[in-house]
Structure 1
């Protein structure tokens, strides 16, 4: 039996260590993604890291380090297609770019583990997790800095429909809710309709928003008494 003839304990243990390292590092990255309810969470990042490590490790054992370099190039290309599957476009908003980049980094972690660069795999993991956690407050702070209206690439509007009698208090409510969410307002317009309703359109002074957070703000507004409908949209500036 070929397995009995070719089995070697030390190379096998080496593969175990490589795959285990990829599993642990992929899990560390995936836990943060799972906690934030991203489409590619714990299992996906673990599988990407372990898969990359397995391909590279097998190539190295069969054909040596030179062949493992070629396999790493294939892994980079293959994970690119996988990452494209988690990128979604919703109107002018593109979601999933960070998740796709994280999958790409998980593959890099696996590739490093596959060629026994375990310290480097752990180092990459630390930087990936730091990028997804420590930079988040900074990104949110930058996104909420008021920008010059003429230089903004996107116009973000929150539209709340109410009755003509409730325009005053609902206007104050919209301004306060957006202020509490740290989204400065550049302007609030009123568009009356013939059926007695009025659209309050709040134009944000920020050039980007967190879609999930904005959905929560809009849903909270829609649940308020006197609010008939609430929605938000972003459009490209001229």
Structure 2
């Protein structure tokens, strides 16, 4: 392999990686222009190494190791925010940038350019379609609100009460957004707080859950309110 072939592959790897990263940078994502360019370049370098070692290394085996390594980078940009996950699209874009760099390092320049074009089209053209589908889904679904449920029980019954509450919420098809416990003064009491997400006309269902929890041993108080009640205060 001559030097200008190496330079050409490295240059194209940077260009196609940067093109993918420009779209991410424009949307202010964590992995932007430089990150995607470096991922593509790094993948290209690893494959070039296997190519230049002649019979000592298999390009396909090196490419497989690149794919495994990208998993660690992808995990770094995925963030859990409550019960929602952010960064999956950015992680997938990094994975695609590595694939494009691998193609470039192996000498498949046209395929690399076409692959980068496909990644850009997927991120740019499919975004408004996804937003439209999400908006239509919200419009067609019944109006949702948050319910804040509070239970006071003894410390020894805390684990059982939490498990029972989660089971009842799940069996009724109610979304559980938050669940935590905190001590109540020094009376060996625990206050269990839960944030539930369901339709605005689910008051009867929430009251049913609260009434059932009051029948449990160790529960001394229970109540609930909606986010609309809090806004009215």
Give TM-score scaled by structure 2 length. Answer: 0.61
Deviation, 1:13, is 1.5
Contact 2:145 2:200 in 1 (8 A): no
1:44 correspondence with 2:35:
yes
Q: Give, in whole Å, the separation in 2 of the partners of 1:17 and 1:64.
A: 23
Deviation, 1:15, is 1.1
Alignment of 1:97-108 (within 5 A): 97-108=88-99
1:88 matched to which residue of 2? 79
Q: Give, in whole Å, the separation in 1 of the partners of 2:24 and 2:31.
A: 7
Q: Give, in whole Å, the separation in 2 of the partners of 1:71 and 1:107.
A: 12
Q: Report the 3-state secondary structure (helix = DSSP H, G, I; strand = E; otherwise coil) of the residue aligned with 1:89.
A: strand
Q: Give, in whole Å, the separation in 1 of the partners of 2:4 and 2:102.
A: 17
Alignment of 1:155-170 (within 5 A): none
Q: Give, in whole Å, the separation in 1 of the partners of 2:103 and 2:55.
A: 15
Name the larger-Rg structure: 2
Deviation, 1:192, is 3.9
Pick the aligned partner of 2:18 from 19, 27, 37. 27
Deviation, 1:74, is 0.1
Alignment of 1:71-82 (within 5 A): 71-82=62-73
Q: Give, in whole Å, the separation in 1 of the partners of 2:25 and 2:122.
A: 15
Alignment root-mean-square deviation, CA: 2.7
Q: Report the 3-state secondary structure (helix = DSSP H, G, I; strand = E; otherwise coil) of the residue aligned with 2:85.
A: strand
Alignment of 1:221-232 (within 5 A): none
Question: CA 1:64–1:16 in structure 2 vs 1: closer, same or farther (change >3 Å)?
Answer: farther
Deviation, 1:46, is 0.4
Q: Give, in whole Å, the separation in 1 of the partners of 2:105 and 2:14.
A: 11
Deviation, 1:113, is 0.1
Number of aligned residue pairs: give it.
Answer: 157
Q: Which runs of 5+ in 1 are unaligned?
A: 1-9, 158-185, 200-238
Deviation, 1:92, is 1.2
Q: Give, in whole Å, the separation in 1 of the partners of 2:129 and 2:7.
A: 39
1:55 matched to which residue of 2? 46
Q: Give, in whole Å, the separation in 1 of the partners of 2:56 and 2:8.
A: 17
